[in-house]
Each structure stands twice: as C-alpha cells, then as structure tokens.
Amino acid sequence: MSRELDFGFRLCQTLDRGTAAIDRETSDRLFDIRQQALSRHRTSAGLSLAGFGGITTDSFGGYARGLLAAMALTVGAVGAYYWNTFDQAVEHAEIDSALLADEVPFNAYIDQGFMAWLEQLKDSANSDESSQQ
C-alpha cells in the first residue's frame, strides 16, 4: 500500500511539471475565467445583511402601514358590533319601559301576533345577555 502511495505521489509530482508548462494563451484564458468567477462571487453574510438592511430601511414603512390598516379595520369592526348591540339594547329597554308603564293599548295583549313578537323579543334579549356574560 505504501508503495502505491509513493508511486502515486511521485507520478503526480511529474504532473505538476506539466501544469507549469501550460502555454501562455491557456494561462491567460484561465486567468480570465478566474476573474469572471470572482465577479460572480457572493457572500451569504452580505446577502443576509443586505436583506435585513432592506427590510429595516425600505420595507419597514410598508409593513407598518399594513399593520396599522389591519389594526384600524379590526377596531372598526369591533366598534360597529358593540354600537349595534347598544342600539338594540336601547330599543328593547324602550319597549320594556312602555309595557311596564301600561302605555301599550289593551288590544295589544289579545293580539296573538304581538304576543308572539314579544316572546321572540324576550328570547333574543335573553340570548344576548347570556352571550355577554
């Protein structure tokens, strides 16, 4: 095995002399090729840092604007929901107070449709209360 190694390395020493004897034209072309390759050289550190820099400087405003818009939309939706619920509560309170104050005509109590509507109103009020709890 050591003879093999010795022979292999001695053979390759001879090959080294061959590389030294490469003609000028080929050497120049190899130099050009190397320069072209180096011009394509990119470092991942540079890329990642450049990417981070891009985010911090160029894209940050865009991200912030998007985030603000989403927050405003969420706040608006929640506000509209609560405003709607508040309106309904006021309406129900008015009906309740009218009933309690006997301001509803007597005929209204024998009107089946009215009674059904009251029941429906009562149920929906109960469900609203349970959902708020």
Partner 1 sequence: MISRNLHKEIALASRNELSNFLAGVERRAYKQALFAVRDEDSALDIVQDAMMKLAEKYGDKPAEELPLLFQRILQNTIRDYYRRQKVRSTWTTLLSAFTSADDEDADPLETIADESESSFGRPHEELEQSQVLAIIEKEIAKLPPRQREAFLMRYWEDMDIAETAAAMGCTEGSVKTHCSRATHTLAAALKARGIEL
Report the interface residues with partner 1, using CB under 8 A: 4-5, 7-12, 14-15, 17-22, 26-27, 29-30, 33-34, 36-38, 40-46, 49
CB of 64 to partner 1, least distance (A): 23
Smaller CB separation from partner 1, 12 or 72: 12
Smaller CB separation from partner 1, 42 or 106: 42
CB of 46 to partner 1, least distance (A): 5
Measured CA to CA, the distance from residue 107 to residue 101 in angstroms comes to 16
Interacting residues of 55 by C-beta distance below 8 A, sequence separation 6+: 63
Q: How crowded is residue 14: how many other Cβ atoms within 10 Å of its Cβ?
A: 8
Measured CA to CA, the distance from residue 2 to residue 8 in angstroms comes to 10
